[in-house]
Amino acid sequence: MATTKKRELDLKDFPPGTVTEYTTLVCLACIFDIFTKQLGLAPRTAFSEIKRHTPTIEELTSRQAMRPYFDTEDKHPHCPYCGSAKRWLTHFDTYCIEGGKTTDAARRTLIKKLPTSGDQFVIVEKKSDSRAVFFEWLDTLGLNADLNDEAWPIEATRKYLERREPKTNWDEPFNELRAVRRSSRLTEGWERDGTRLFLAPNLYSEAILIQYLVSRSHAHGGMTLEGRLTLMELIRRLRYSGYLDQIGIAERDPGEVFEKLIDHLAAKHEWYRIPTSRDSERVSAAAKKSTKKAAKKSSKKSPKSRKNKVSLPEPDEVVTEPVKLHYLVDRRDFLEKVKSVYASYA
């Protein structure tokens, strides 16, 4: 039967982590109720209006759905608002694709293949930035993580590396992997040795940082490859490993360091463009020069120089990149269900 056919989109040409999938259930009984009772439409008009209906992107991607939308893990769901059973329930699948060099060609190919008739798919573009994308990625990682599973720091490491190096096929390095360790030999990249994966110190540090960010709200401190860490312990490790120096964080206050760490990761949405240790040597050499300049500027912090401030770039300005998000809303199941519900109603 057409309605039970599995027809998920083929997303294999997209690097892992660049497409986020959302499913929102919707109760047609509730929608019908809203259109007839609240908006006062005749049933026939209501159905033709409902057919044209597409929830907003906020409604489709919100973590807390509102009537007539809902989320459930239940295999035999009922509407939480009116109790309606399966035949009244349908869903929208929404795919959020991050625009960028690694996804643009694949996205165009995918969109070309989609059926165009009857608004089976709706495509919405939205402007966002690398910071919002980063937090959404973290959020998704957290929602899909089983933090009680011992293996999850390894899984989170994989998700991080997939995003960091989208061109690498990570199946092999992670196949039957038992442990991830900091390499004392490598200055960049990674190597597999037996059942262990060794990461260059900067990759290892960032993997720990990601694990901390994902798990910190779930427990006291965050769960990482190095065990449970408080923020102080995390920062101490990142400092001793040389990571903070490497990315130019000189602050001592844990809160400030933490902010800077997030700024660093959130500055570029394509992480393979985040400076590696080799690049950051160049960057920090350049930074030293500009620090001298900045020192000169800040040495005369008189009200007079503050007046001129408008034309000067903020030294601490956080750079975020604009990112275009492309949402594909799959309305196929919705259209079919509306039709069958109306047929049984009329």
84 touching Zn ion, by CB under 5 A: yes
Among 19, 26, 29, 257, binds Zn ion (CB under 5 A): 29
Among 81, 138, 262, 321, binds Zn ion (CB under 5 A): 81
- Distance in Å, CB of 50 to Zn ion, minimum: 13
* Minimum CB distance to Zn ion smaller for 79 or for 96: 79
Contact 95, 330 (CB under 8 A): yes
Place of tokens 């660049």: 18
Per CB under 5 A, which region of 77-85, 232-240, 284-292, 321-329 contacts Zn ion?
77-85
* Minimum CB distance to Zn ion smaller for 7 or for 37: 37
30 touching Zn ion, by CB under 5 A: yes
34 touching Zn ion, by CB under 5 A: no
- Distance in Å, CB of 66 to Zn ion, minimum: 12
Terminal alpha carbon distance of the chain: 23
Per CB under 5 A, which region of 23-31, 200-208, 238-246, 281-289 contacts Zn ion?
23-31
- Distance in Å, CB of 31 to Zn ion, minimum: 8
Give dist(CA 25, CA 71) in Å, integer: 6
Within 148-187, the residues that bind Zn ion by CB under 5 A are none
* Minimum CB distance to Zn ion smaller for 88 or for 152: 88
Q: How far is CA 321 from CA 99, 114, 127, 336, in A?
A: 12, 30, 11, 40
Per CB under 5 A, which region of 25-33, 38-46, 95-103, 114-122 contacts Zn ion?
25-33
Closest CA to 90 of 31, 25, 35: 25
Q: Is 119 left (phi over 0), alpha (psi -120 to 50) or beta?
A: left
* Minimum CB distance to Zn ion smaller for 33 or for 162: 33
* Minimum CB distance to Zn ion smaller for 55 or for 99: 55
- Structure tokens given for 223: 């769960």
Q: How many residues bind Zn ion (CB under 5 A)?
A: 7
66 touching Zn ion, by CB under 5 A: no
Per CB under 5 A, which region of 28-36, 49-57, 134-142, 241-249 contacts Zn ion?
28-36
Among 66, 82, 123, 179, binds Zn ion (CB under 5 A): 82
* Minimum CB distance to Zn ion smaller for 68 or for 99: 68
Q: What are phi and psi of 193, to 5 degrees?
A: -135, 105
- Distance in Å, CB of 149 to Zn ion, minimum: 35
- Report CA torsion sign: 162, 232, 320, 297: negative
Contact 207, 180 (CB under 8 A): yes
Per CB under 5 A, which region of 82-90, 135-143, 156-164, 183-191 contacts Zn ion?
82-90
Among 25, 31, 79, 141, binds Zn ion (CB under 5 A): 79
Per CB under 5 A, which region of 48-56, 81-89, 98-106, 323-331 contacts Zn ion?
81-89
* Minimum CB distance to Zn ion smaller for 27 or for 65: 27
Among 19, 26, 27, 338, binds Zn ion (CB under 5 A): 27
* Minimum CB distance to Zn ion smaller for 86 or for 228: 86
Give dist(CA 323, CA 343) in Å, integer: 43
- Distance in Å, CB of 80 to Zn ion, minimum: 8
Closest CA to 321 of 133, 96, 107, 125: 133
Q: What are phi and psi of 345, to 5 degrees?
A: -85, -40
Binding residues for Zn ion (CB under 5 A): 27, 29-30, 79, 81-82, 84
